[in-house]
Amino acid sequence: MREIDVNELDGLLASGPIALIDVRGVDEWQTGHVPGAELIVMSTIPARVQDLPRDEEIFVICESGGRSFQVATWLESQGFEAVNIAGGTGAWRSLGKPLAF
């Protein structure tokens, strides 16, 4: 599984839309998320797997990178190309990058 940091993510987002899923809880999501991310709570991933694109990389983010790593690993086991965002939304926020609400 590939892993990138939030600066690389920022560059990708500047190039156009990507499949970015935020696997945090609803309460965390409401405190701010990376613009363009779609909320799919970690516990619902298996039930929502059919909603994910199979023809492009899926970028997975959480607060610090732990849950997203678990989800990306599971997605890869299901045949998806998944990329973990190291540092997660916490790193994004710490660098002063914009948040959506």
Tell me how crowded residue 38 is: count the other CB atoms within 10 A of its CB. Answer: 13
Which among 34, 40, 62, 71 is annotated as catalytic? 62
Q: In angstroms, what CA-CA distances link 99 with 52, 56, 94?
A: 23, 24, 11
78 is catalytic: no
What strands, in cross-sheet order, belong to the sheet with 2-4? Answer: 2-4, 82-85, 58-61, 19-22, 38-39
Q: Which residues are catalytic?
A: 62
